[in-house]
Amino acid sequence: MRLLILGCGDIGTRVGEALSQTGWHITAARRNVAKLPAIFERHSVDLTDPASFEALTLVRPDYVLVTPTPQGYDPAGYQSGFLAVAETLAQQHWLTGVRRVIWISSTRVYRQSQGGWVDEYSPLNTQEPQSAAIVAAEAAVRRGAMTTVIRPSGIYGDPDGMLMRRVLSGVAAAPAASYGNRIHREDLARLITHCLLRDANAEAVPPTLIASDSDHTPTHEIERWLAVQMGVSLREETSNARNRANRRCRNDRLAQLGFEFRFPTWRDGYTAMLSAREALSPH
């Protein structure tokens, strides 16, 4: 099988490396090809520049994985990073030969913000411009090819990620009752790989999946737990300007697909991260 990964960053690289070990041919595209593994066929492509897609004319993939990112956090950044990319992809003539596109979206698309549950069929938020751009991008890519949209919640797992940096800096969010949802980057890559292998084996893959672990702990509680583990004293922000989603994401469908989490809760994931940091620290 031949897989084309567009916008190949950390998640895409993990998927490509896993599938290359099973004999898949991996083609990866991003602006800076020097950051891609040498085992991949590499192409320099700017997903926001339709002309640069010409470099992919002869790739002829069986599957396409797209990991779009906003070009900025304002509405224009989401229009450019999600909707424009989806529309350009849908116009590629070679897309008609693709068996399935895996499009990585976000649970930001959900309207629920009062602590209720959401699943793959829950109402979407088309009132907020950023969310509306993501929703429109999902629809655009579906018009171009058979597609599975995977909507991850907050992706973590980077030892130098935002939450870890905040805790180490001694800054904590003010206490809040908002539910949180997240998935370890390793589990997200494993889920994508799982879906691609299922489809290649003629097993059912649904059109939409929520990618979120089995825990809904508010972020401020995780920050305080991490601070204790790392021996850091925290001071609370005087105001919490960050817009926190307040919903609980169901992941029942993942179990129905036979997927098992390596890190089913944030405590599992962060414990592994702290152990890795300890192993690397000088003694």
In three-state form (DSSP H/G/I as H, E/B as E, the rest C), the secondary structure along 134-180 is: HHHHHHHHHHHCCEEEEEECEEECCCCCHHHHHHHHCEECCCCCCCC
Q: How far apart are the first and last CA of the chain?
A: 46
Residue percentage of the chain with pLDDT more than 70 = 96
The residue extents of the domains of the chain are 2-159+183-218+246-267
Interval 199-258: pLDDT, tens: 999 999 999 999 999 999 998 899 999 999 999 998 887 655 455 689 999 999 999 999
pTM over 0.85: yes
Residue 13 CB coordination number (10 Å): 20
Residue 131 tokens read as 């969310």
Homologous superfamily of domain range 2-159+183-218+246-267? NAD(P)-binding Rossmann-like Domain (3.40.50.720)
Interval 70-113: pLDDT, tens: 999 999 999 999 999 999 999 999 999 999 999 999 999 999 99
Tell me the mean pLDDT in the region 145-157.
97
Rounded CA-CA distance 188/236 in Å is: 31
